[in-house]
Chain A
Amino acid sequence: MITREPEFLPPPINMRGRLGRAVLLNCRNAGRALLILLEAMTSLRFVLSKRSRPVVLQQLYVTGIKSLGVISVVAMFTGMILALQMGLELRKYGQEVNIGLAVMVSMLREMGPFMTALILAASVGSAMAAELGTMTVSEEIAALEVMSISPVRFLVMPRLAAMMIMTPLLTFYACMLGVVGGAIVGATQLGVSVPAYLDNATRWAENKDLYVGLLKSFVFGIMITTICCYQGFATTEGAVGVGRATRRSVVVSFLSILVVGYIITRLFYQ
């Protein structure tokens, strides 16, 4: 059952009690979030059913198309900043043509997945937490459960599907725009011609960089959905609670993106 009864825990006796409880509660919450993810994953088989299709399309639109603007600007400027910073350093050694490689690799490996995930967590993720949170406090989730309609299949699954598809796509788009931004800075400020820049960028970047970046973004997409939907379902106490759930969903998403991003990098680049 997704809806939960209000919990009342006696105040902890001392610091140790408080710490222990915090650890236990966090473990339990993580477990519950994983169960939601598991159920959403298994209900992904309904993603193309007649009933789910419009909802999934709607979510794809909200996640993908609506985020395109912000992601374009952020990706472009990230590429420009990278090119400028590294270009100025490399110019001291007459190596400025290598900004192509530098921008391409840092976008593909880190900045692309990372920036896209942060933007999606802050915009799409927080909206998920707020929506589901409002539904929880106004008993809409309870109403679904009473009708024996799984809130996870009905609400989380379309969001998960949309994020699983859109995060890698948007990441790829962000990487390419970043490279374009780098090319503009290279041509206008550093005297690196566009063909030379592109040649340098494509010659040294490996396919592995692309694949690992996309894998990372895929994992980020799943993580953001799980965390934000979980926080939404765990909302209590009216409008204040919705605010709290939204804030927490963004904070937890950001931290997990950083930590998991490091772990994946560590796994693939020893």
Chain B
Amino acid sequence: MIRFEHVSKYFGERKVLDAVNFKVERGETFVIVGFSGAGKSVTLKHMIRLLTPDTGKIYVGNDLISTSTGADLVRLREKFGLLFQGAALLEWMSVFDNVALPLREKTNMSDAEIEKRVEEKLRQVNLTGVHDAMPSELSGGMRKRVGLARAIVMNPEIILYDEPTSGLDPVTSRAIDQLIDRMRLELKVTSVVVTHDLFSALAIGTRIAMIYDGRILEISRPTDFIRSQNEIVKRFLDAQYITKKGAWERTDHETQ
């Protein structure tokens, strides 16, 4: 569905992506993990052409998105929903208007239909009773969820999530995980999820990719990921107390 071929990206002298190759299959939930500043958001932005690779090609389906412009790009972007890391809500519009925006601008739906759809999506992300609130009145986690509702409101084929659960409490995080999983199972949506949260990565990912220093260190299924022999992957897993059994193993003072 999405294919990176030798994609490199420089910001000035700094090489942020270094000949990255991978492929996201149709209908899978592809999770990207990695340290802060590793290039996860940059990778995600390449998929929807908010950034253009310096070398290499990016395909969406059979179309080359990395060089497309105009009507072609519009058509390709229509397949996507994107949740930005900072939510990127339009600050002067209410929550309802923010979520309804793509419907109002891009479809001929009636006001009643729009209202119904927006309600449904807000309920799916566990947000109710904030209809008329302005984004500046919301907490960080609530903004994230409004952003998520906006990303899925057009029922896109591919959804890109940049840290969907960061800043959320564990219960809401799991609800979002279930939402992502349900979309894969019921609607056959292809998802790419950038996250720091290994628990959700292991729970929802069909495959997990670890980015380190602009390269893909490892791509594997969750069960193989936690058994990885790669030193850096191991360090990443250990930092979140995840062992080969995939469970907690407390080694600190409490057990002593």
Contacts and interface: CB of A to CB of B under 8 A. Distances in A.
Contact of A140 (B78, B80, B89): B89
Contacts of B84: 139, 142-143
Given A8-B12, A139-B88, A142-B88, A149 B106 contact: yes
Given A146-B77, A146-B82, A140 B48 contact: no
A207 interface: no
Interface in B21-37: none
A145 interface: yes
Given A140-B88, A140-B89, A146 B80 contact: yes
A139 B86 contact: yes
Interface string B4-27: 000000111100000000000000
B101 interface: yes
Interface string B114-149: 000000000000000000000000000000000000
Contacts of A147: 77, 101-102, 105-106
B86 A138 contact: yes
A135 to B, nearest CB: 8
Contact of B102 (A135, A140, A149): A149
A157 to B, nearest CB: 13
A134 B91 CA distance: 10
A149 B78 CA distance: 11
Tell me if B's interface is mostly helix, strand, loop or mixed: loop
B239 interface: no
B50 A142 contact: yes
Nearest to B160: A146
Contacts of B187: none
B102 to A, nearest CB: 5
A195 interface: no
Interface residues of B, number: 25
A262 B50 CA distance: 42
Most interface-central of A5, A8, A51, A148 (chain B CB within 10 A):
A148
A6 interface: yes
A12 to B, nearest CB: 15
B57 to A, nearest CB: 17
Contacts of B185: none
Contact of B101 (A1, A8, A135, A149): A149
Interface residues of A, number: 20
A123 interface: no
Given A51-B104, A51-B105, A139-B84, A146 B50 contact: yes
A97 to B, nearest CB: 53
B105 A5 contact: no
A140 B101 contact: no
Contacts of B11: 6, 8
A3 interface: yes
A140 B90 contact: yes
Contacts of B74: 148
B195 interface: no
Contacts of A6: 11
Contacts of B88: 138-140, 142-143
Nearest to A155: B90
B50 A145 contact: yes
A94 B102 CA distance: 70
Interface string B69-93: 1000010011010101010111100
A148 B80 CA distance: 11
Give 4 nearest A-B pairs by CB, closest first: A8-B12, A143-B88, A139-B88, A148-B74
28 contacts: A1-B69, A5-B52, A6-B11, A8-B11, A51-B104, A135-B91, A138-B86, A138-B88, A138-B91, A139-B84, A140-B88, A140-B90, A142-B50, A142-B84, A143-B88, A143-B89, A143-B90, A144-B90, A145-B50, A147-B77, A147-B101, A147-B102, A148-B74, A148-B78, A148-B106, A149-B101, A149-B102, A149-B105
